[in-house]
Amino acid sequence: TITASLAVALTSCGSDDQPQQTGRQESDADLIARYTAGIEADPTDPLPHYNLAVALVRSQKLEEAAASYFRALQIDSTYALPHQGLGQLAARRGDLEAARSFFQSALRLDSTLVESHNNLGHIARQLGDLDGALSAFKMAAQHAPYEAMSQYNLGQILIQMNRRDQGIEAMEHCIELDGSFAPCHRFLGSLYATGGDLEKAIRSYRRAVRLAPDPAIHVGMGEIYTTLLRLDEATHQYEEALRIDSTFALALYRLGSVRAEQDRTAEATELMEKAATVQPRLTVAHRRLAQIYMEQNRDGEAEATLKKALLHGAGEAATHRLIGSLFTRLERYEPAETALKRALELAP
């Protein structure tokens, strides 16, 4: 499958991927008709074939678009942009090796195609070729030194390669180039948070969320405030996340955890139940809910909840430990021993 960042990169239309427009805004159907007429007027010109392909992609007519790209190359095999377009189509259907080959062909013909460098970087990253990804993103940044996205891509791969300082430098440069580029602020926030610089993390997250409201960013800030034991501020952030998306499971779970710490058990139970319902794979919510049930001596509900946690995360030692604790309390010693042994096997 294609990663989210790759999907964004390959489905966005950069300047190289837009057909030449007239003064008025034309519909996709108008563009297709115009470029088809251009082909009929001069079938030996590759440009209208390429423009037609781009318009067909925008209309989600991908097979026809591929055929039009290939016709452009039949006329002029040195035309770089159709190779780039075919690479994007190959990536969209999940054929990453073919996509890489097309992007490489485009760049052999025109090394200044920034979008192909970036796309090649995403493909290499997806294929596990981090050195290749780094090389591609560096070339993109070299050819587009004032483009924030290229610095962002470069920063991401540097962090993935454990070159933290260089990654932060690239992200900060991204923000210098475009202070309104929210993903850079968000990524910097996560870097500062994992590095323990929590105040810097909060500042970056605040900038990110002002530019692009996102429940995940509010949860990130809430987690920092929770770590700092600033529970009122944490609560506000989790509530802001839920204002944006009332079913955001991680916010439900985090707010439920705060309510449990505040001994507001009824609210905590309701929030945990909702989190576990909307996101069954969030096994930590099942476990916390089971703990709340155990504290209320609702052992049957606790056991049923832990079974759901096992269903979605049988390899998590914490679930087996909690099952062992529950069964020990219920004097069901044989299954308790089995659960605790399994926990030790998973996390010695």
Q: In the prediction, which pLDDT does 29 show?
A: 86
Summarised one tens digit per residue, pLDDT across range 287-299 is: 999 999 999 999 9
CA distance 108 to 68: 21
Tens-digit pLDDT profile for residues 12-70: 333 345 554 444 467 888 888 988 998 999 989 999 999 999 999 999 999 999 999 99
DSSP type of residue 316 = -
| Burial annotation 124-135 (CB, 10 A radius, 16+ → b, else e) | bbbeebeebbbb
Tokens of 308: 């759901």
Per-residue pLDDT at 4: 35
Q: What is the pTM of this model?
A: 0.77
83, 51 in Cβ contact below 8 A? no
195 DSSP 8-state letter: T
- Counted residue by residue, the chain has a size of 348
Tokens of 195: 């590095």
Enter the DSSP assignment of 313.
Answer: -
The answer to whether the CB of 342 falls within 8 A of the CB of 327 is: no
Q: How far is 142 from 260, CA to CA, in rounded Å? A: 52
* CA–CA gap between residue 249 and residue 279 (Å, rounded): 6
Amino acid, res. 118: N
d(CA 318, CA 325): 11
